[in-house]
Amino acid sequence: MPKLAEVLRAEIIRISRREARIATTGIREAKIKLTKTVADLKRKIVKLQGENKWLVAAEKKRLAQKPQVAPEASKKARLTSKGIRRLRKRLGLSQAAFAKLLGASTQTVHMWETKDGALRLRDSTLAAVLSARAMGAREVKRKLAETETKKTRRGVVKGKRAKRR
């Protein structure tokens, strides 16, 4: 008799384990899938944190480079084409050099100098013009030379362009 009880007990244990395994198969597969998803999301979080850190540093650098002008000074400033032309001539700059100093294009500077009436500029451009007003010719030339050396350090060679095919 003890043999029969042991056999029945072993069979019951085997069948119950089998039923439990069948019942939990879907849960196990879902758990494996969720574990992989969590690992993938963790990798993405690390990547995004790195990108965020880089973007914050780049934004701080960009804000540090922009000239800061008080809001009341920018509201009081009245810029005209004659004033822009006079400022450029006083600094002894060509339209291209003046555009480079302000972060605008040569065509934009030409448009400013030929336009009638008051000029409406973006805040960043207005700040650059007002800071250029406060500079002298030597300081402007030094600043342009600094920007030129920064570009050559990055690998941009002056006067050479990539060949187009």
Q: How many domains does the chain have?
A: 2
Per-residue pLDDT, 36:
97
Among 49, 65, 81, give the residue marking a domain's end.
65
Per-residue pLDDT, 126:
84
Per-residue pLDDT, 51:
95
Among 32, 65, 98, give the residue marking a domain's end.
65
Per-residue pLDDT, 68:
57
Among 65, 81, 105, give the residue marking a domain's end.
65
Q: b/e for 54-66, b at 16 or more Cβ within 10 A? A: eeeeeeeeeeeee
Question: Is 158 a member of any domain?
Answer: no
Per-residue pLDDT, 66:
60
Euclidean distance between CA atoms 39 and 43, whole angstroms: 6
Q: Which residue matches tokens 């960043």?
A: 124
Domain housing 28: 1-65
Helices 137-153 and 95-102 cross at an angle (nearest 10°) of 70
Euclidean distance between CA atoms 97 and 67, whole angstroms: 17
- Ranges of residues in the chain with a pLDDT under 50 are none
Tell me the pTM: 0.49
Euclidean distance between CA atoms 58 and 3, whole angstroms: 79
Question: Is 148 a member of any domain?
Answer: yes
* Beta bridge pairs of residue 118: 80
Per-residue pLDDT, 48:
96
Do 147 and 103 lie in a common domain? yes
